[in-house]
Structure 1
Amino acid sequence: MTKPLWTPTDERVKQTNMYRFMQAVNAKYGKNFTDYDALYEWSIENLSEFWAFMWDFAEIRFSRSYDKVLDDPCKMPGAKWFQGAQLNFAENLLRLRNDKIALVFRGEDQVRRTLTYKDLYDETSRVAKGLKSLGIKPGDRVVGFVPNMPESIIAMLAATSIGAVWSSCSPDFGIKGVLDRFGQTRPKVLFTADGYFFKGKPIDSLQKIKGIIEELPSIEKIVVIPYADEDPPVKTLPSAILWDRFKNSRAGEIEFEQLPFDHPLYIMYSSGTTGLPKCMVQSAGGVLMHQIKELMLHTDLKENDTIFYFTTCGWMMWNWLVTSLSVGATLVLYDGNPFHPGPDALWQMAQDEKITVFGTSAGYIAALKNAGVKPAQQFDLSPLKALLSTGSPLSKEDFKFIYDEVKSDLQLASISGGSDLNGCFALGNPMGSVYSGELQCRGLAMKVFAYDEDGKPVVGEQGELVCTAPFPSMPIYFWNDEDGSRYHSAYFDHYPGVWAHGDFIEVTERGGVIMYGRSDATLNPGGVRIGTAEIYRRIEQMEEIADSVVVGQNWNNDVRIILFVTMPEGVKLTDGIREKIRNDIRTHASPRHVPAKIIEVPDIPYTLNMKKVELAVKKMIHGQEVKNKDALKNPEALDFFSNIKELKE
């Protein structure tokens, strides 16, 4: 029997929001739930009751309550949530207005800034007045090309307090990458910093802004936040104004626009590696409810917590992190390279800021381990109660690394979802045990299954991640998709009426979830489906390999596995290393996982959100065009995969 890596004590369980929620459900509905599994089953079979209870439990602020929670629990897409309700997203995040610290900003420049909840409210009020003076009204688009700094959150809150629709990109996006996103939605106001810092160097953003606005005639005003330069030269930009001059001189009461539950809040984007990014429009009420559920219950976030997530404003984890304000927690924002000035930089910050919930990517954890950093030995992490990881599957070895070298008494919550829902399908359970390689649970009220090729749910077998019932944060529509055809084809073509997310998973007997990577990148040698994560888990343990990407190549009426690797400086790929890789994969995965070819390349391509792009590599090796290279952080890396001699033999 598999032993857990960590199990919470009974005392700890009883202190969680999840336990308190379960007991309250028991009291109201006459139940006797004692564990998560029972609560989960109730939540997916009683969607209206669950979400109504969550509305009350989270003390959602509204000016008018709802008439009905859910019009049709079998309708997907198109289900209507909380009809009749009137609320404002920003008002729910600005409940506090006191001297408690709301935001701590730590950038590479090492200058620490803090804002109290009163400061945050007042600054939002001043910026909202600035937006109103421009005539911004509900439904108008306001965007940010911004680092992860307090002003980015203030701009979003100000825009959404009016009912404007917010969208953001991080400043490392190229001009075409920004235009592919903002160009589709025609924003009126653009917030930007003059620059940002990376690896100790200031990097200018204003030149990019010039190129962006030349192609964005809808922009009426550019608001420039001084960051890299105290007095940036904004006169070179038409319709530009500095942040302090844009804000109204006086703070005051915010007039939170009261809007329907399904009023547009965010426009989120797909990675755009196979064409123009999808513009996914999500509702204010839907995002609020979904993220509060995940933060309060699955993350056990409370007012006395300090939460950090290493993210940029171009990744959905920024949106997710910001909703932590709704529970009154303190948010730590970091902008820059997580390994600057050294690989332990974020853990020094975790100690200094007494972080209780630390969020990052699986790639960062692997890099941390490979760099030899041992946070538990170097820092006092006694306040830390949970570590969250997402972006790609976390290997079993990295689970072990966290418990060996970060903290032994810790909830490690590997979480998985996407920008499409601005949240998770599977994530943490603070009442449950942590098992190596597993996400702890499927999210409450998320009717998630692994479907086999016949569309049947399977347990203990790999299958397609599906959700068979609606959830509040589903996109309300895609931008410029009047007949809904793009929205439908993105999720519902494979299994009619069922959301197919595009991930390859296994639901375990314990109710946990194992991620195997994107299903569109799934390998299929000899007709057997294999997830790429199983191969990456082995490669990441090898000191001889710096990075890798694995794809399937069509070959002799079948598919063969091709593994591309980059090597550490001074190391060459030899036949001996190739054989070591093959033997390790054969032993720890299966003979079917063994690559037919192992080829050295100079670089591995990544999206701007640091996800490997197997599909783009697969297109390149098959001589197909990759149309949207601007969605990549390092598009030049793709050139290495064209006309490789070894793939023709």
Structure 2
Amino acid sequence: MAKLLWTPSEKRVTSSNIYKFMNVVNQTYGQRCETYPELYAWSIDNIPEFWAAVWEFTGITASAPHTCVVDDPYKMPGARWFPGARLNFAENLLRFRNDRTALIFHGEDKITRRMTYAQLYDEVARMAKSLKEAGVVSGDRVAGFMPNMPETIVAMLAATSMGATWSSCSPDFGIKGVLDRFGQIKPKILFTADGYFFKGSRFDSLAKIGDIVKELPSIEKLVVVPYTQETPDISAIPVAVHYERFISHDPDLAIDFQQLPFDHPLYIMYSSGTTGLPKCMVQSAGGILIHHLKELTLHTNLGLEDTIFYFTTCGWMMWNWLVSSLATGATLVLFDGNPFHPGPGALWQMAQDDGITVFGTSAGYIAALQASGEKPGQNYDLSALKTVLSTGSPLSIEGFDYIYRNIKEDLQLASISGGTDLNGCFALGNPMGPVYAGELQCRGLAMKVVALDDNGNPVVGEQGELVCQAAFPSMPIYFWDDPNHEKYHSAYFDVYPNVWRHGDYIEVTERGGVVMFGRSDATLNPGGVRIGTAEIYRQMDQIDEIADSVVVGQNWNNDVRVILFVVMAPDRILDDALKIKIVKTIRANASPRHVPAKIIAVPDIPYTLNMKKVELAVKKIIHKQTVRNRDALKNPEALDFYADIPELNEP
């Protein structure tokens, strides 16, 4: 039986947005919902009415009304949401234009900047004018290779205000990782900073971006934001221009928000690249807007008086999710750098100074904080803090206990889980409900999520495959360069027709909570950040000493560490020099997160009969789990090499 850790007060419940929303539903639709389970049951049984209520409750701005909410909520993929509506994503995020603080930016180098909603609107207006003058039109792609700083948000809002589609990568990505993504979508304008800071060191981005631009002929302008230098030298990159020279300096500009269909392309997000190049998932402006507003307003209880922080890079969907908080009028805190620099209390000092009410991070960070011995609740004034959010990987029971013991007793701990694919959550927080150790509070409203056993039957109280049995607005509208929708279909709908299979193992508890058991596929999750095995394999292909390889994640100290197994080429051995070469290659061309914690030589790699590596089987073996259906393998004896490897029990 899971331990009860926290129960909200009656005042907290009745003052919450979700409680007020429930009353609106009761009044509008003649319901008698009094609890979250009752509201959830109504939402999945009345999907069109639910999303219509969210539209009204969150005050979405549109210039033309919708003719219906959804044509068929059980058509997946292909459900059409809010046809007829015309709106603009950026206009909804910039609905507040006053002197309240919109953004607070902290760089690891101690730089702190603040921007009001009025200042943000003005800078977006000036950037939009410059993008238009640079030839950007609706449907073009504008991309960012940027730290998590205000200029990134300005660029995204300016681009989307005119109907361009935004995509971004973190600057710690290697050249190959960036080209694998931006090379597919061919952006017209690329934003970058001259560098970034991490663990007290400065990293240059200009040399890397120069090589990237050479391989991307679609880029007509590279806009360089000065961050680590006042006036960086960009003379070696012909298409480069300084941010201040590019942006218009005309005063009092008004933004011409292009009014576009609900399903107009807003973001291009990327899969982890487990089986090849990352899949480019195109998500709609209206779908992301209404889905984020549901999660932020109802499930996170975010409002005008809140200050929200999420530790994220611009290459993770939590950046997109965080930025949508602007639509609620809250203050956003942006941080770029290492969360433990100069010490483990760095982010909590920031939480104290900025009065953060909602603190978002990853389960990996919580585990590392716990290991450091840091006690934020004892060392900092966290009186403003109301909610802690954790995602990226399952938060351990020890992590739950640590937060309530060493951060704050009276707060809502919302462990949340979803994916880049939907730019949101399947299971997340419930401001009206209790928190139990190791358990996500609830399934998201109108997300018809169940756990299916091996026979495809819904189960409660036991592990199963996470599926969603009804459509939701933030589903990708299509995958890039997938004219027949084959990639899209195979990503989610091959196993259960017309049902979204997400690739997580979960348990839905009797009380409606969710327990996460990790990925059911081979995607890696070190530090709570999803990365793909294919990106590592592509680097291994460049190393002559390696004949073959397989990479898996090993559960380790409440996190996941990357384990790389290699088969040596004839007459080659795995020595320290080769290990260093492998690490440097992966770090330079993929990212630091892809670097394996262990590199181990093995005599063979298991394959299926149709010559696919069986990463999941290897992962099961190293975790001492049973591998079923060995007959499907071409060389099942190879699995025996992975059992009881002593090195896997060592730090």
Aligned amino acid, residue 95 of structure 2: R
Q: Deviations over 1:338-385 (max 9, x none)?
A: 000111100000000000000000000000000000001100001000
How far, CA to CA, are the matches of 1:148 and 1:449 in structure 2?
35
The aligned counterpart of 2:301 is 300
SS of residue matched to 1:153: helix
Q: Deviations over 1:153-203 (max 9, x none)?
A: 000000000000000001000000000000000110000000000111111
Across the aligned residues of Structure 1 and Structure 2, the Cα RMSD in angstroms comes to 2.8
**Could you tell me the TM-score, scaled by structure 1's length?**
0.84
The aligned counterpart of 1:501 is 502
1:51–1:547: structure 2 CA closer, same or farther, 3 Å change rule?
closer
How far, CA to CA, are the matches of 2:513 and 2:463 in structure 1?
13
SS of residue matched to 1:234: coil
1:584-595 counterparts in 2 under 5 A? Answer: none
SS of residue matched to 1:254: coil
**Equivalent pair of 1:301/1:327 in contact (CA under 8 Å):** yes
SS of residue matched to 1:464: strand
How far, CA to CA, are the matches of 1:617 and 1:447 in structure 2?
42
- Give how far 1:4 is off: 1.2
The aligned counterpart of 2:545 is none
Q: Deviations over 1:4-41 (max 9, x none)?
A: 10000111100100000001111111111110000000
Q: Deviations over 1:85-137 (max 9, x none)?
A: 00000000001111100000000110110000000000000000010001111
- Give how far 1:274 is off: 3.0
- Give how far 1:506 is off: 0.5
1:208 aligns with 2:225: no
Consecutive aligned runs of 4 or more in structure 1 exceeding 4 Å deviation = 546-553, 605-614, 616-621, 623-627, 642-649
- Give how far 1:2 is off: 4.4
Q: Alignment partner for residue 540 of structure 1, among 531, 548, 557?
A: 557
1:329 aligns with 2:330: yes
The aligned counterpart of 1:622 is 605
Q: Deviations over 1:211-260 (max 9, x none)?
A: 10111000000000000110001121111111011111114110000000
- Give how far 1:621 is off: 6.8
- Give how far 1:402 is off: 0.3
How far, CA to CA, are the matches of 1:620 and 1:610 in structure 2?
26
1:239-254 counterparts in 2 under 5 A? Answer: 239-251=239-251, 252-254=253-255
How far, CA to CA, are the matches of 2:560 and 2:185 in structure 1?
36
Aligned amino acid, residue 557 of structure 2: E
How far, CA to CA, are the matches of 2:482 and 2:583 in structure 1?
40
How far, CA to CA, are the matches of 1:410 and 1:536 in structure 2?
32
The aligned counterpart of 1:380 is 381
- Give how far 1:648 is off: 9.6
1:646–1:499: structure 2 CA closer, same or farther, 3 Å change rule?
closer
The aligned counterpart of 2:97 is 97
Q: Deviations over 1:488-521 (max 9, x none)?
A: 0000000000000000100000100000011124
Aligned amino acid, residue 368 of structure 2: A
How far, CA to CA, are the matches of 1:648 and 1:68 in structure 2?
58
1:312–1:548: structure 2 CA closer, same or farther, 3 Å change rule?
closer
Unmatched segments (≥5 aa) in structure 2: 524-552, 567-581, 614-637, 646-651
**Equivalent pair of 1:620/1:626 in contact (CA under 8 Å):** no
**Equivalent pair of 2:563/2:596 in contact (CA under 8 Å):** no
Unmatched segments (≥5 aa) in structure 1: 523-534, 554-600, 628-641
SS of residue matched to 2:114: strand
Aligned amino acid, residue 369 of structure 1: Q
Aligned amino acid, residue 216 of structure 2: L
1:190 aligns with 2:190: yes
- Give how far 1:536 is off: 7.5
The aligned counterpart of 1:28 is 28
**Equivalent pair of 1:392/1:611 in contact (CA under 8 Å):** no
1:206-245 counterparts in 2 under 5 A? Answer: 206-245=206-245
How far, CA to CA, are the matches of 1:619 and 1:284 in structure 2?
48
How far, CA to CA, are the matches of 1:402 and 1:309 in structure 2?
16
- Give how far 1:66 is off: 0.3
1:361–1:239: structure 2 CA closer, same or farther, 3 Å change rule?
same
1:441-480 counterparts in 2 under 5 A? Answer: 441-480=442-481
- Give how far 1:273 is off: 3.5
How far, CA to CA, are the matches of 2:34 and 2:304 in structure 1?
25
1:626–1:500: structure 2 CA closer, same or farther, 3 Å change rule?
closer
1:167 aligns with 2:184: no
SS of residue matched to 1:286: helix
How far, CA to CA, are the matches of 1:354 and 1:617 in structure 2?
47
How far, CA to CA, are the matches of 2:396 and 2:339 in structure 1?
20
1:40 aligns with 2:40: yes
SS of residue matched to 2:466: strand
**Equivalent pair of 2:73/2:472 in contact (CA under 8 Å):** no
1:414 aligns with 2:397: no
1:200–1:648: structure 2 CA closer, same or farther, 3 Å change rule?
closer
- Give how far 1:622 is off: 2.0
**Equivalent pair of 1:437/1:514 in contact (CA under 8 Å):** yes
Q: Deviations over 1:555-584 (max 9, x none)?
A: xxxxxxxxxxxxxxxxxxxxxxxxxxxxxx
- Give how far 1:613 is off: 8.6
SS of residue matched to 2:436: coil
1:349–1:473: structure 2 CA closer, same or farther, 3 Å change rule?
same
Aligned amino acid, residue 622 of structure 1: I
**Equivalent pair of 2:145/2:190 in contact (CA under 8 Å):** yes
1:26–1:125: structure 2 CA closer, same or farther, 3 Å change rule?
same
- Give how far 1:74 is off: 1.7
The aligned counterpart of 1:320 is 321
Aligned amino acid, residue 37 of structure 2: D
SS of residue matched to 2:360: strand
The aligned counterpart of 1:435 is 436
The aligned counterpart of 2:355 is 354
The aligned counterpart of 1:586 is none
Aligned amino acid, residue 143 of structure 1: A
Aligned amino acid, residue 457 of structure 1: P
1:49-68 counterparts in 2 under 5 A? Answer: 49-68=49-68
How far, CA to CA, are the matches of 1:398 and 1:621 in structure 2?
37
How far, CA to CA, are the matches of 2:476 and 2:61 in structure 1?
22
The aligned counterpart of 2:540 is none
Aligned amino acid, residue 216 of structure 1: L
**Equivalent pair of 2:377/2:407 in contact (CA under 8 Å):** yes
**Equivalent pair of 1:391/1:611 in contact (CA under 8 Å):** no
- Give how far 1:271 is off: 1.4
How far, CA to CA, are the matches of 1:33 and 1:434 in structure 2?
21
The aligned counterpart of 1:156 is 156
How far, CA to CA, are the matches of 2:600 and 2:429 in structure 1?
32
How far, CA to CA, are the matches of 1:609 and 1:102 in structure 2?
31
- Give how far 1:547 is off: 6.9
**Equivalent pair of 2:195/2:203 in contact (CA under 8 Å):** yes
Aligned amino acid, residue 82 of structure 1: F
The aligned counterpart of 1:392 is 393
How far, CA to CA, are the matches of 1:221 and 1:549 in structure 2?
37
**Could you tell me the TM-score, scaled by structure 2's length?**
0.83
The aligned counterpart of 1:255 is 256
SS of residue matched to 2:455: coil
**Equivalent pair of 2:562/2:594 in contact (CA under 8 Å):** no
The aligned counterpart of 1:129 is 129
SS of residue matched to 1:68: coil
- What is the identity percentage for the equivalent residue pairs of Structure 1 and Structure 2? 64
1:525-604 counterparts in 2 under 5 A? Answer: 539-540=556-557, 548=561
SS of residue matched to 2:119: helix
1:610–1:385: structure 2 CA closer, same or farther, 3 Å change rule?
farther
1:182–1:373: structure 2 CA closer, same or farther, 3 Å change rule?
same
